[in-house]
């Protein structure tokens, strides 16, 4: 009897947790491009350089993210954060960002065009 109840309590708890996680994800985190502008200083060093190549610790290509689709950028950052997408430096950076930071930064980069003022050409 106790075992039976215990099992159901666990299942109920898991269901609640799953529901919570789902609603936490859906909780509309709205990106603000203006706020994002103040959060990209650490990105420009890599993403804003000509040819999009870093020199340290080794030369590798850095993707252009300015003007990229907002949802795509958000997904990419969440993927680096969770470890679904692997790249050490991007993972290190992404884990330091909150969901709001990610939304803001994605909004900022998505709003960039070649003609944007202060466009570090990323």
In eight-state DSSP terms, residue 50 is: G
CA distances from 67 to 20, 27, 71, 78, 114 (A): 33, 25, 12, 18, 8
Applying the rule CB under 6 A, the residues between 85 and 104 that interact with ligand HEC are 85, 87, 89-90, 93
**Of 5 and 63, which CB lies nearer to ligand HEC in the complex structure?**
63
Query: What is the crossing angle of helices 99-110 and 70-82, to 10°?
Result: 140
Query: By CB under 6 A, is residue 110 in contact with ligand HEC?
Result: no
Dihedral, CA atoms, 28, 30, 31, 33, nearest 10 degrees? 180
Write the interaction track for ligand HEC spanning residues 42-81; mark x where CB under 6 A is met and - where it is not.
xx-xxx------x-----x-xx-x-------x--xx----
Query: By CB under 6 A, is residue 107 in contact with ligand HEC?
Result: no
**Residues at the interface with ligand HEC (CB under 6 A):** 40, 42-43, 45-47, 54, 60, 62-63, 65, 73, 76-77, 85, 87, 89-90, 93, 105
């Amino acid at each position: 009897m106790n075992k039976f109840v215990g099992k159901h309590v666990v299942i109920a708890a898991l269901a609640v947790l799953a529901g919570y996680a789902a609603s936490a994800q859906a909780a509309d985190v709205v990106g603000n491009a203006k706020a994002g502008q103040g959060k990209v200083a650490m990105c420009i060093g890599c993403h804003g350089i000509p040819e999009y190549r870093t020199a340290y610790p080794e030369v590798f290509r850095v993707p252009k993210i300015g003007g990229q689709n907002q949802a795509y950028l958000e997904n990419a950052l969440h993927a680096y954060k969770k470890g679904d997408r692997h790249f050490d430096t991007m993972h290190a950076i992404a884990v330091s960002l909150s969901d709001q930071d990610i939304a803001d930064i994605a909004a900022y980069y998505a709003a960039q065009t070649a003609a944007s003022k202060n466009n570090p050409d990323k």
